[in-house]
């Protein structure tokens, strides 16, 4: 009985050992690799570089006053269209007290001189009418009266200019009425009624009353890295993507490349400008951020494969083409233009060939 039990135990042990060995053997066997394939496609290959920037009006003007004072009236609002010569604001002059005092004194003296000249003229006129004095002598009194009258008018105009910035004879050409110098849209009105403003002069840029721009002519202003600037030239086509208008692209023509770069974040950047071809269905606001794809070269409707399918060896490129199920052969191909994702196939494979995806 003991012998039978030993035999059974031994058989069990041997069976477990054999099963373990078989399990480990099956587990160590590698599963056959099934390679996936892709075919070539007909597509457009565009080699490009990207520039970041914004879209701004080509002509943007800051309107500044020619006299210092206080904004008495504002006649425009942001977004309003104006024409050249339209009234924008009216400035009330705060006169300089010294100049005002001098002008008032000059006017008083002019009045005294005029009254004196008028009395002398009236007295001599009676004598002249009686034939006592000759016409040549009387003419001197008449000239003196006219000079006194002219000085009185000049003094009155000078005082009015200091007080109001305008004379009776030149109300339409006064510097207190601020007018638009171009036709366009009002982008910004940084002042309000009652604000003090400073005139534009040799020593001061002056206070900006309004910013006006022609929104019918927009340009893209961006920066290009020094590694890319040597690949572009004026006249190239840019594909403009505006962040606020994602559903469409705009064409732009490169018209300016800065001859000098500037350092930004440790890299040399060159400014570029391109004229934007606007579309009637879209309104582009000044300052929209945009990315410009600068087309360096382009080929349309060419046979291409994904660049990741290529294997490079020395100076040659090849792919593995399926000749039978899961049987592949190496085939040299001639490549052309690449956009970093797809690459043009000049010769070596056809559209129907199945190319192995490298593991």
Residue 151 half-sphere exposure, CB side, CA atoms within 13 Å? Answer: 18
> 94 or 91, which is more confident?
91
CA dist 149 and 115 (Å) reads 9
Residue for token digits 């690449």?
338
37-46+300-356 to CATH, choices 2.30.30.90, 3.40.140.10, 2.40.160.40, 2.40.420.20: 2.40.420.20
- Residue 341 CB contacts under 8 Å (≥ 6 apart), including other chains: 306, 307
Residue 34: pLDDT over 80: no
**Strand pairing category for 267-276 and 245-257:** antiparallel
CA dist 58 and 75 (Å) reads 25
Structure tokens at 84: 């050249």
pTM of the model: 0.61
Ordered by start, the domain boundaries in the chain are 37-46+300-356, 49-57+215-298, 62-90+178-213, 97-164
221 pLDDT band, cuts 50/70/90, is very high
Question: Which residues partner with 69 through β-bridges?
Answer: 197
Residue 153's CB is within 10 A of a number of other CB atoms, namely: 15
* 197-236: burial string, b at 16+ Cβ within 10 Å, e else: bebbeeeeebbbbbbbbebeebbbbbbbeeeebeebeeeb
CA dist 245 and 266 (Å) reads 31
What fold does the segment set 62-90+178-213 form as a domain? Answer: OB fold (Dihydrolipoamide Acetyltransferase, E2P) (2.40.50)
Question: Which residues partner with 333 through β-bridges?
Answer: 317
Q: For residue 173, what pLDDT is reported?
A: 53
CATH class of 49-57+215-298: mainly beta
> What DSSP character marks residue 340?
S
- Mean pLDDT for 266-285 is 91
261 pLDDT band, cuts 50/70/90, is very high
CA dist 232 and 97 (Å) reads 61
Q: Please spell the DSSP secondary structure of 109-156, one letter per residue.
A: HHHHHHHHHHHHHHHHHHHHHTTSS-HHHHHHHHHHHHHHHHHHHHHH
Question: Which residues partner with 184 through β-bridges?
Answer: 82
Structure tokens at 213: 């721009």
Name, of 5-14, 81-90, 290-299, the range with top average pLDDT.
81-90
Burial class (CB in 10 A: 0-12, 13-18, 19+), 117: buried
* Region of poorest pLDDT, from 31-35, 104-108, 179-183, 331-335: 31-35
CATH 2.60.40.10 fits 97-164, yes or no: no
Burial class (CB in 10 A: 0-12, 13-18, 19+), 69: buried
- Mean pLDDT for 85-95 is 84
The closest of 230, 226, 229, 231 to 266, measured between CA atoms, is 226
Residue 172: pLDDT over 70: no
- pLDDT over 70, % of the chain: 91
Q: For residue 78, what pLDDT is reported?
A: 93
Q: What is the pLDDT of residues 99-155, one digit of tens each?
A: 767 777 887 888 888 888 888 888 888 877 777 778 878 788 888 888 888 888 888
Q: For residue 25, what pLDDT is reported?
A: 67
Residue for token digits 């008449």?
142
Longest dimension (CA), the chain: 182
Q: For residue 28, what pLDDT is reported?
A: 64
CA dist 209 and 89 (Å) reads 8
Tell me how far CA of residue 96 lies from CA of 40, 166, 187, 227, 256, in angstroms: 83, 15, 33, 59, 48
Burial class (CB in 10 A: 0-12, 13-18, 19+), 347: exposed
Residue 171: pLDDT over 80: no
The closest of 34, 171, 158, 38 to 103, measured between CA atoms, is 158
Instruction: Name the helix (H) or strand (E) containing 49.
Output: strand 41-57
Q: For residue 93, what pLDDT is reported?
A: 78
> What is the chain's mean pLDDT, rounded?
83
- 3-class secondary-structure state, position 254: strand
Residue 167: pLDDT over 70: no
Name, of 35-49, 118-132, 151-165, 237-251, the range with top average pLDDT.
237-251
> Terminus-to-terminus CA distance in the chain, angstroms?
61
């Amino acid at each position: 009985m003991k012998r039978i039990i030993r035999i059974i135990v031994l058989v069990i042990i041997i069976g477990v050992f054999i099963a373990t060995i078989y399990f480990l053997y099956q587990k160590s066997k590698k599963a056959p690799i099934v390679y996936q394939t892709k075919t070539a496609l007909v597509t457009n290959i565009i080699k490009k570089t990207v520039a970041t920037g914004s879209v701004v009006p080509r002509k943007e003007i800051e309107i500044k006053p020619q006299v210092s004072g206080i904004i008495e009236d504002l006649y425009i609002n942001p977004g309003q269209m104006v024409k050249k010569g339209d009234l924008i604001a009216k400035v009330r002059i705060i006169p300089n007290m010294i100049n005002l005092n001098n002008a008032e004194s000059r006017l008083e003296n002019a009045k005294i001189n005029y009254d004196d000249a008028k009395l002398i003229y009236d007295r001599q006129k009676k004598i002249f009418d009686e034939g006592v004095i000759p016409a040549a002598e009387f003419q001197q009194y008449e000239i003196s009266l006219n000079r006194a009258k002219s000085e009185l008018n000049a003094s009155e105009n000078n005082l009015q200019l200091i007080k109001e910035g305008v004379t009776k004879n030149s109300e339409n050409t006064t510097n207190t009425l601020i007018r638009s110098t171009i036709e366009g849209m009002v982008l910004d009105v940084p002042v309000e009624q009652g604000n003090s403003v400073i005139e534009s002069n040799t020593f001061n840029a002056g206070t900006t009353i309004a910013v006006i721009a022609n929104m019918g002519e927009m340009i893209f202003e961006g920066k290009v890295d020094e590694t890319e600037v040597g690949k572009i030239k004026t006249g190239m086509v840019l594909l403009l993507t505006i962040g606020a208008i994602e559903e469409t692209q705009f064409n732009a023509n490169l018209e300016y490349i800065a001859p000098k770069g500037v350092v930004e974040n440790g890299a040399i950047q060159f400014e570029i400008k391109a004229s934007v071809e606007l579309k009637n269905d879209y309104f582009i606001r000044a300052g929209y951020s945009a990315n410009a794809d600068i087309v360096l070269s382009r080929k349309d409707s060419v046979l291409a494969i994904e660049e990741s399918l290529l294997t490079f060896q020395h100076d040659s490129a090849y792919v593995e083409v399926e000749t039978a199920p899961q049987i592949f052969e190496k085939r040299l191909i001639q490549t052309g233009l690449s956009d970093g994702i797809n690459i043009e196939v000049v010769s070596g494979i056809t559209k129907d060939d199945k190319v192995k995806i490298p593991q």
